[in-house]
Structure 1
Amino acid sequence: MKKYIKLLFSLLAMLGITSCSLDTDNTPGDLEGMWKCTAMEQNGQTVDVAEKQIFWSFQAKLLQIEDKIGTQPRILYHYNLNGSILELNNPYLYDRDHGDKPLTEPTLLVFYGINTMNTTFTIEFAKGKKELTLATETYKLYFKKF
C-alpha cells in the first residue's frame, strides 16, 4: 500500500510541475540575453554610442533598456517576436522602489533610438548571431552580444 501512495504522490508531483506555466514563459531564442548598443544610424548618418553604455536585455516576455552610466531612466517593454519582426509595446519606467509606472513621455525613448511608444523593428543577425541590427524606417540600431 505504501508503494502505491508513493507512486501516486510522485505522479501528482510530476503532473504539477509539468502543468505550471509562468508569465515569463517565452522563447526569445537568439535575442535572449544582454546586448550592448554600439551605434545608431539615422538618415545615413551613423553615430558611435559605445561609450554611452546602452544595454538591451531580453528575458522571457520583457525587454529592459538601460543606460549603465545612469543618466537616463531605465525602460521596460513587453515585446512580441514573430520571425524577424520585433514589436515593442506598453513601455514602463523602471522603478522597483515605488512600482513601475506606464511611460507617458515618449521623448525619454529617443536616447535609446526609439521614437514612438510602440514600435516595430526588423531583426538582422550577423557574425554567428553575435551581432544584431534592429531597423525601423528611420533608425538602425547596432548591437554586440554581451
Structure 2
Amino acid sequence: MKKYILFPLILFAGILPFVSCELETSDNGDLDGFWHLVRIDTLDTQGTCDMKQERIFWSFQKDLLHVDDKTGMNSSILLRFNHSSGSLTLSDPYIYDRGAGDIKLEDVSMLYPFGINAMEEKFNMIHLSSNHMIIESPMLRLSFKKM
C-alpha cells in the first residue's frame, strides 16, 4: 500500500520543477528597489535640506515608481517611469488607493514632499550604484540611500 501512495508523490515531485510560471523581470539594474530620500539640494539658492530623519521613500519595480511618506502625512503616489540614457523620466501620477481604486492625480503640490515638481518630470542620473543614487531636475538635486 505504501508503494501506491509513495509513487504519486515521487512523480509529482519529479514534474514540479518543470511546471512553468511567468515572472516579470526588469532591466532596471541597480535602480530597482527601495530608496530613502536623504537630502534635497536647491540648485538656484544652493540650499540643502537634510532628509535623513524624514521617512520619504521611492520604490522602483519594473516600470512603476511608488513614492511614500511612511509617517502618513502625505498620500502615497504611483508614477510611471522610464530610465534610459542617463535620465529618469516620471509621468502619469496616481494617488495610491488599492481599496477604492487609484485616482489620477490632479494637484501637482501633492508631489512636492517627494522632491517632484511636475506631473511629468525629467531627472538627470548623476550617480547610481547598488546603494546610492543622485538625480537632478532643473530645480533640485535629490540624494538617496538604498535600504
TM-score in same-fold range (> 0.5): yes
Quote the RMSD (CA, aligned, Å).
1.9
Larger radius of gyration: 2
Verify: 1:100 aligned to 2:102, yes or no: yes
Partner of 2:10: none
> How many pairs were matched up?
129
Contact 1:92 1:102 in 2 (8 A): yes
1:1-146 to 2 correspondences below 5 Å:
17=20, 24-42=24-42, 43=44, 44-125=46-127, 128-146=129-147
Contact 1:25 1:61 in 2 (8 A): no
Task: For residue 53 of structure 2, give the secondary structure of its aligned residue in structure 1.
Answer: helix
Q: Aligned partners of 2:60, 2:130: CA distance in 1, in Å?
A: 15
- Residue by residue over 1:116-141, the C-alpha shift from the partner in whole angstroms, topping out at 9 and shown as x without a partner, is 00001111226x53211110111001
Contact 1:74 1:94 in 2 (8 A): yes
Task: Tell me the TM-score normalised to structure 2 length.
Answer: 0.80
Partner of 1:3: none
Give identity over the alignment, percent.
33
Structure 1: runs of 5+ lacking an equivalent? 1-9
Structure 2: runs of 5+ lacking an equivalent? 1-14
Which 4+ stretches in 1 moved above 6 angstroms?
none
Amino acid at match of 1:133: I
